[in-house]
Amino acid sequence: MLLHIIARGKIGRSAEAELVDRYVKRLTMPHKITELPDRGGKLPPAPAGTITVMLDEKGQQLGSMDFAHRIEGWRDTGTRECRFLIGAADGFGDAERANADLLIAFGPMTWPHMMARAMLAEQLWRACSILAGHPYHREG
pLDDT at 20: 96
Range of the domain at 56: 2-131
Tell me if 140 is assigned to some domain: no
Tell me if 137 is assigned to some domain: no
pLDDT at 7: 94
> What H or E segment, with its residue span, contains residue 131?
helix 113-131
Handedness of CA 72, 118, 83, 33 (dihedral sign): negative
pTM: 0.92
Tell me if 139 is assigned to some domain: no
Mean predicted confidence (pLDDT) in 41-46: 90
CA of residue 19 relative to chain centroid, distance: 14
Judge whether residue 92 has pLDDT over 80.
yes
| Model confidence band, residue 39 (pLDDT cutoffs 50, 70, 90) | confident
Tell me if 138 is assigned to some domain: no
| Model confidence band, residue 134 (pLDDT cutoffs 50, 70, 90) | confident
Tell me if 7 is assigned to some domain: yes
Judge whether residue 137 has pLDDT over 70.
no
**106 annotated to bind ligand:** yes
Closest C-alpha among 109, 129, 16 to residue 55? 109
**74 annotated to bind ligand:** no
Judge whether residue 82 has pLDDT over 70.
yes
pLDDT at 125: 97
Average pLDDT, the chain: 92
**125 annotated to bind ligand:** no
Tell me if 55 is assigned to some domain: yes
Q: How many domains does the chain fold into?
A: 1
How far CA 58 is from CA of 90, 91, 115, 121, 136, in Å, comes to: 13, 10, 17, 20, 27
Judge whether residue 138 has pLDDT over 70.
no
**108 annotated to bind ligand:** yes
* % of the chain exceeding 90 in pLDDT: 71
**103 annotated to bind ligand:** no
**19 annotated to bind ligand:** no
- CATH code (residue 120): 3.40.1280.10
Judge whether residue 12 has pLDDT over 80.
yes
**30 annotated to bind ligand:** no
pLDDT at 140: 55
**87 annotated to bind ligand:** yes
